[in-house]
Chain A
């Protein structure tokens, strides 16, 4: 494995900084860190990751300790706990496999740090289903891309570069027309194709999106609206939009559940899904939900095959249970008797709580309140190899190790805690 701290030769990597999971990038570390095919978000991720100490030590109540001592302390907290909360869950496939195994032994509740958005998507899928697509289909087929409530590139910087402005495609289709509905105008506007084609911007407040999407549904179903203006948008603009979607050979509607910070996010997503369904009665169209990051797609998939449920779920007497409302971090913080916060990709801080807390993850996590146990763990795709789901879920890609590191991987740490815990109970 390469030590990129001194390496001038580009190392090909998979970038876990966002759900695009670009595997066409390479890193060179000398003279300064640079990334071929990278993006600002990717560079920021690797800069931050590679600037951490690869030999950070665990802390017990803020005091340096050995990994062995930290594992004993963590096992002790979980051993006493009747109802621990495993939150954050910023990890990849192998880390999540270990977490689920430990959760089963400890009756833990599982919730991901970005689950507010994920849950809106999952519940939409559970209520009525959806019709979705994946990156390569978009790259080769999409002729209209409608982004709802998101500029896409703030969270997924290379989206258009890779999937819309590609020069090669299988079916000689034109560069897709980009339409942003209710997206942050300034950043959305910046998505100008290499051929100079500017996107269509339909400004709206996020809170107005439900009204607008429902109007689009009505128009698509041939209903006449007795108004000239919907949420500030002149009716002809909406009619033109539905005509474009209908005329498209392969329209793609993209949304970001985490950007829908409104009370009826789930209903809004359902309305978007209805648009897609209606379009598919006569032409082809598909949806694409953006993910929120920190391994959310990986965590949800692994949880689902191992427990039968996506997150928010828990084990109770060894049996898995599922409840997207009661098992949220926010609700569980009030009732749990131990918290294990996990964030390996980014230094996301653990929630403030008086409950005994174990933090495992990024060496640079800062604390408001000193946790009982802190175990710095390797950053996946930097300190150790791993596996990660792309946001479209169909693809799982290997993450590579890019530097020499003494940091244990999350699954090693969790496995040690589990082993210690089982030893204690059988002893």
Chain B
């Protein structure tokens, strides 16, 4: 069976196609080269005038696992409020997005999948799987329909790794452990959150700078970053080490962020939600934008990539592995409540509801800092569009964010409504850049796919999975990106006019580099002595993901 998408305007940066009119042929879920004239085309979609991109890939979104479920459990009022608002709407305003109209910060797994695909996203990656909690993360992702999933396993605060580092174990031993973790947790990348800091908090340290030692292990965040970025590099995983820097949210933290860029000694590193790490201490309020310095450093340091973690105004929740900084920031929670956890000598978490307000000086400046970063980082292949869902804003606000990037007058109008003191501290209006459709396609498709190492996603070349989104070109980019005309998942039409027409289940993307299984000998002893579960039960088999007939593990080789 061959499907033809005819005459679409193609934005496929992986193949340098910038708005060319071309046909796309699909067979067995894959994009194929133009078939022979003798082959029958079974189905044709006339896409004349339509914008065609690969399905979008969210490379950082908290969609599954313990802390996001804590956020749901803690904040039933988000869903209740929305349900009430829906009831109050009268026809024809009342619209029910299937299955539930959930544009709030803590959607159920079902709603997460639906909301993503309705916007033309065909994959999302959970960036903070604590290894002991990986089974829950995969269960939740397994119950997330429509999209592909994957995750990054958190290391660098686990006592096993820190013991190795303190004992000056050689790099090979570290590499074997990191590879073992990737296998055991079915992850595609490695993340480190507040390197060493979450662990230090358990020893009652309240802050940890890049070159400050964890009191117990006497190792610094810099050493942790060196060791883990080296391991990721040596193992040949495509996804660079995913780094949530020390000192998240603290005024003046831009210095830590700049220093962190040098910590991997030139090896690739990805700095995540960098907006939260680009704060200076200038001005009366001792809180200022350091976006210019961070952007300049990003432009210079070609081995560094970053995603923004844009904040947008409204009610959301911050769910982070960074128990240390979340505990410190709990006083800013709105409404005032927080869940903080120490987890299994492995990780931690902190969940705080947050309401970003445009008349609040700090919030308004955070908004501007994120946009300054987007507009000042020159290479769209090295900067990614995220709100760190739900921490900066729910992912459902991406179309709004895209409009802010593509439409200068819209952006400046929004800026003019901000807290006046914040306006005075930002150079946003002097930044004239407007993102093009091609650049948006890089940030949300080609770049993201390449960064994670998904060779057959994020582009429209022959052989790629036929994850394809079709939009109507509209001057209002928010409207355009909110409601695609068509979304194809593996060649099947799953969304038509912004609504799901077929429920499908995506795959789970993983990386499984080779390693010495001998690493399990010491791990077994460690688990028996110090942990409270058996080593064998820590490991997640492929069967666990695929046995219900919906999921499937895909292993990516670099």
B534:A23 contact, CB within 8 angstroms: yes
B532 touches A162 (CB 8 A): yes
Neighbouring A residues of B340 by C-beta, 8 Å: 129-132
A127–B336 Cα distance when bound, in Å, is 9
Q: Tell me the smallest distance from the CB of B376 to a CB of chain A, in Å.
A: 37
Given contacts A122-B73, A163-B532, whether A133 and B341 have CB atoms under 8 Å apart is yes
B74 is an interface residue with CB less than 8 A from chain A = yes
Residues A395 and B344 in contact, CB atoms below 8 Å apart: yes
Chain B residues with a Cβ closer than 8 Å to the other chain, count: 58
Contact B69 A394 (CB under 8 A): no
> With an 8 A cutoff between CB atoms, is B92 at the interface?
no
Q: A304-B73, A387-B139 are in contact. Are A318 and B344 (CB under 8 A)?
A: no
- In the complex, which residues of chain A have a beta carbon less than 8 angstroms from the beta carbon of B136? 301, 389, 394, 396
Bitwise interface map of B from 199 to 233 toward A, beta carbon under 8 Å scored 1, else 0: 00111100000000000100000000000000000
Name the contact of A23 in the complex, choosing from B107, B201, B204, B537 (C-beta under 8 A).
B537
* Listed stretches A75-83, A134-142, A189-197, A375-383; interface member: A134-142
In angstroms, Cα B343 to Cα A136, docked, is 8
Segment of A62-70, A164-172, A214-222 engaged in the interface with chain B: A164-172
- Verify if A97 is at the interface (C-beta below 8 Å from B): yes
Q: How many residues on A have C-beta within 8 angstroms of the other chain's C-beta atoms? A: 57
* A137-B345, A284-B202, A320-B79 as given contacts; A300 in contact with B73, CB under 8 Å: yes
Segment of B108-116, B271-279, B304-312, B367-375 in the binding face: B108-116
Contact A126 to B64, CB < 8 A, known contacts A168-B529, A319-B100, A395-B533: no
Docked Cα-Cα span, A129 to B345, in Å, equals 22
How close is B388's CB to chain A, nearest CB, in angstroms? 20
Q: A250 touches which one: B73, B139, B202, B337 (CB < 8 A)?
A: B202
Segment 90-139 of A: residues with Cβ below 8 Å from B: 93, 97, 122, 125-137, 139
Contact A308 B102, CB 8 Å, known A122-B73, A139-B530: yes
**In B321-375, which residues have CB < 8 Å from any A CB?**
327, 330, 333, 336-346, 351
Q: Are B74 and A131 in contact (CB under 8 A)?
A: no
Task: Report which residue of A280, A304, A310, A387 has the largest number of chain B beta carbons within 10 angstroms of its beta carbon.
Answer: A304
B518 at interface, CB cutoff 8 A:
no
Q: A310-B73, A397-B537 are in contact. Are A128 and B327 (CB under 8 A)?
A: no
Residue of A nearest to B98 (CB): A318
Q: Given contacts A137-B345, A162-B532, A320-B100, is CB(A308)–CB(B135) below 8 Å?
A: no
Expressed in whole angstroms, the Cα–Cα distance for A136 and B528 within the complex equals 11
Closest to B160 in A: A170
Report B99-139 CB contacts with A as 1/0, cut-off 8 Å.
Answer: 11010001111110000000000000000001011011001
Whether B108 and A306, one on each chain, are in contact in the complex, defined by CB atoms closer than 8 angstroms, is yes
B344 and A136 contacting across the interface, CB-CB below 8 Å: yes
CB-defined contacts of B75 to chain A, threshold 8 Å: 126
Taking CB atoms, residues of chain B closer than 8 Å to A307 are: 108
| Distance A137 CA – B66 CA, assembled complex (angstroms) | 17
Alpha-carbon gap, A320 to B140, bound state (A): 18
Contacting residues, chain B, for A140 (C-beta < 8 A) = 159, 345, 530
Task: Report chain B residues within 8 Å CB of A393.
Answer: 66
Q: At the interface, yes or no: B76 with Cβ under 8 Å from chain A?
A: yes
With A and B bound together, what is the CA distance between A412 and B344 in angstroms? Answer: 34
CB atoms of B337 and A398 under 8 A apart: no
- In the complex, the answer to whether B69 meets A280 with C-beta atoms within 8 Å is no
Q: Are A305 and B140 in contact, CB atoms less than 8 angstroms apart? A: yes
**A403 contacts partner chain B, Cβ-Cβ < 8 Å:** no
* A21 to chain B: closest residue by CB: B533
Tell me the B residues contacting A by CB distance below 8 Å. Answer: 64, 66, 69, 72-76, 79-80, 83, 99-100, 102, 106-111, 130, 132-133, 135-136, 139-140, 143, 159, 163, 201-204, 216, 327, 330, 333, 336-346, 351, 529-534, 537, 544
> Can you list 10 A-B pairs with a CB-CB distance of less than 8 A?
A126-B74, A129-B333, A129-B339, A137-B343, A141-B342, A305-B69, A308-B108, A318-B99, A321-B83, A398-B544
Closest 9 CB pairs of A and B: A129-B337, A135-B532, A308-B108, A168-B529, A396-B135, A136-B344, A129-B338, A131-B340, A133-B342
**A-B contacts besides A23-B534, A132-B342, A319-B83, 15 pairs, CB < 8 Å:** A97-B143, A126-B73, A126-B74, A129-B330, A132-B341, A133-B341, A133-B342, A135-B344, A137-B202, A141-B342, A168-B529, A168-B530, A304-B69, A308-B79, A309-B73
